[in-house]
Amino acid sequence: MAAVDPVSDAPSMALPGLARALVSAGKLGQKSAEEIYKKAQANKNSFIAELTGSGAVSASDLAHTMSTAFGAPLLDLEAVDIQRLPKGLLDPKLCSAYRVLVLSKRNNRLIVATADPSDQTAADKVKFATQMGVDWVIAEWDKLSKMVEASSASANQAMDSIIGDDFEFDESTMDDSVIDEDQGAGATSDVDDAPVVKFLHKMLLDAFSQRASDLHFEPYEHTYRVRFRIDGELREIASPPVAIKDKLASRIKVISRMDISEKRVPQDGRMKLKVGPDRVIDFRVSTLPTLFGEKIVIRILDPSSAKLGIDALGYEAEEKERLLNAVGRPYGMVLVTGPTGSGKTVSLYTCLNILNKPGVNISTAEDPSEINLPGVNQVNVNDKAGLTFAAALKSFLRQDPDVIMVGEIRDLETADIAIKAAQTGHMVLSTLHTNDAPTTLTRMRNMGIAPFNIASSVILITAQRLARRLCAACKQPADIPHETLLEAGFKEEEVDGSWTPYRPVGCNMCNNGYKGRVGIYQVMPVSDEIQRIILRDGSSMEIAAQAESEGVKSLRKSGLHKVKLGVTSLEEVLGCTNE
């Protein structure tokens, strides 16, 4: 049923029907409607997305207004079970493009949820694709967007055919660890037609398209779930049948070159997904035996992240200058510290990319090598074969190196060799798992490294965290009490009203108000005075106090600076830093 625009007086500007209905209902001023429409066109965004993102009209208010204006029933999608929605009636791509959701079929008519019943194009597309009539039901934009995305990305549609199926993997086709998506879509191979294969391919592609960093496949006694880590936050994406857990694990292990018969111990592997003639995505795979099967975590390795450049990582001008000055020196040790998943590898590879020139010999030892960087000699350590970090470092020193990168300093032997390399004319880059820059020096002392070796080799330490970046399309000013800002670490003179903190809101362009992540850094050069503190075996508190007096920001203060700039929210900084 195509909707008729109830507005009789046409505005001065050719606005979409939704805008005219809101102006007619008194929910939106003519001038505001025109400004939002112009902004939507400039951002290549839909009017309704720009409208709700701007906060001019709430999704709930919009739905009630549309229901009244167009005489269509209003439905709360929270009362709808997504598993019971009809499947296969409408292409998921069309649903995503026009934000519509098929609720049911009655004779030769479809009951379709929409937030914009004035969209004649959407009605025509649905009619043409299904050859059926359309009856609109009004839903709130934010709830509809989430359900459309969940429905189109849900694995449950693809998994219905798996229950009860019995098929084997043709391992003879798995000699190459590259999954070719063109072959996967074809009908020439029985293996590539298997629903488990299609499901795995879909999960990998969806994770990459949603900018996820990790995929978690988790078996439990009566359930099986798939979660993506997006912008540092785990989200449940699908709940396929428990029956597929062994077949899915076997498929992943085959293409990751693991032992599919061994289910009692953890295993590590790698695989690649070919998504085009010249585009291949790398994945690092880890399996872990649990009570109810093997949990599998797949890390997405994006080679382009190493080529973003130092400016894209979020370093402030002063921090960037300190880091570039350190890595540009002919010898010494630069350490990057932080917890797992804080972006240490990307920071190291960014530095390597700066140093990677025809006249420089660079060697790296990693466990494993995550990003392939042409021009760099990369070695994967293999403890079982005797190729440890220490053994690789000893070999590097016989290979005429200029720059050495050690994935992680784990023990005294590795630390000793790395320090000797830094003391004998080589630039050494490495990582440590410590909370901040000052505690890194005392951590090395506790490992058994002599103070004079630390003082004479380490030239700079960078501690870092990753904070979620506020979505520029929907962030709004936050009303934070003066006392709260002071408790967070702002000085009295900084809370002067000259800047505005922002809070996350959430729109169809982001994830709960955040989109992407930004680095928070503490870049601490080892000055002469800090060297003297190290030599007299001073504490990390003494080092921190001296670093602060030299202008080095703590992680908390660096994060608060990002809050002042409107890059992230105060709660995000408080959640990932300590004071």
User: Do residues 124 and 197 both lie within one domain?
Assistant: no
Q: How far is CA 427 from CA 319, 372, 377, 452, 492, in A?
A: 19, 20, 15, 18, 42
Which CATH number belongs to the domain containing residue 443 in this structure? 3.40.50.300
C-alpha triplet 480, 481, 482: angle, nearest 5° = 120
Q: Is the residue at 502 inside a domain? A: no
End-of-domain residue from the set 301, 333, 366: 301
**Residue spans of the chain under pLDDT 70:** 1-14, 88, 152-194, 275-279, 303-308, 579
- Whether residues 287 and 310 fall in one domain: no
Instruction: Estimate to the nearest angstrom the gap between the alpha carbon of 179 and the chain centroid.
Output: 23
pLDDT of residue 143: 85
Reported as type and span, the H/E element at residue 337 is strand 332-337
**What is the distance between the alpha carbons of residues 213 and 202, in angstroms, rounded to a whole number?**
16
Q: What is the DSSP string of 121-181?
A: HHHHHHHHHHSSEEEEEE--HHHHHHHHHHHHH-SHHHHTTTTT------GGGGSSSEEEH
Q: Which of 284, 301, 318 is the last residue of a domain?
A: 301
Is residue 182 included in any domain, yes or no? no
The verdict on residue 7 lying in a domain is: no
The enclosing domain of 63 has a CATH number of: 3.30.300.160
Per-residue confidence (pLDDT) for residue 154, from 0 to 100? 54
Q: Is residue 449 part of a domain?
A: yes
Name the amino acid, one letter, at 29.
G
Same structural domain, 455 and 381: yes
Q: Are residues 127 and 222 in the same domain?
A: no
Q: Are strands 279-290 and 212-219 parallel, antiparallel or unpaired?
A: unpaired
Helix boundaries (H) for 328-399: 344-355, 389-396
CB 302, CB 402: distance < 8 Å? no
Same domain, 248 and 313: no
Find the CATH number of the domain harbouring 252: 3.30.450.90
* Amino acid at site 243: A
Q: What are 91's two structure tokens?
A: 């292409």
Residue at 237 is within a domain: yes
Torsional class of 309: left (φ above 0), alpha (ψ -120 to 50), beta (otherwise): left
pTM: 0.63
Comparing C-alpha atoms, which of 2, 3, 52, 9 is closest to residue 28? 52
| Residue 566 buriedness (CB in 10 A; 0-12 / 13-18 / 19+) | middle
The pLDDT of residue 5 is 45
- 292 and 316 together in one domain: no
The residue among 197, 202, 195 whose CA lies nearest residue 171 is: 197
Residue 111 covered by a domain = yes
- Is 224 in the same domain as 334? no
Q: Domain total for the chain?
A: 3
- 576: in domain: no
Does residue 534 share a domain with residue 388?
yes
Which of 271, 301, 331 represents a domain boundary (last residue)? 301
Residues 312 and 409 in one domain: yes
Say if 404 falls within a structural domain. Answer: yes
**Residues 354 and 378 placed together within one structural domain of the fold:** yes
Helix (H, G, I), strand (E, B) or coil at 98: helix
Instruction: Please tell me whether residues 212 and 276 are part of one structural domain.
Output: yes
Neighbours of 352 (CB within 10 A): 22
Which residue is it, tokens 């680095």? 519
Asked if residue 91 lies in contact with residue 126, where contact means CB atoms within 8 angstroms, the answer is no
Q: What's the domain range around 243?
A: 193-301
What pLDDT was estimated at residue 403? 93
- Whether residue 267 sits in one domain with residue 228: yes
In angstroms, the first-to-last Cα distance of the chain is: 60
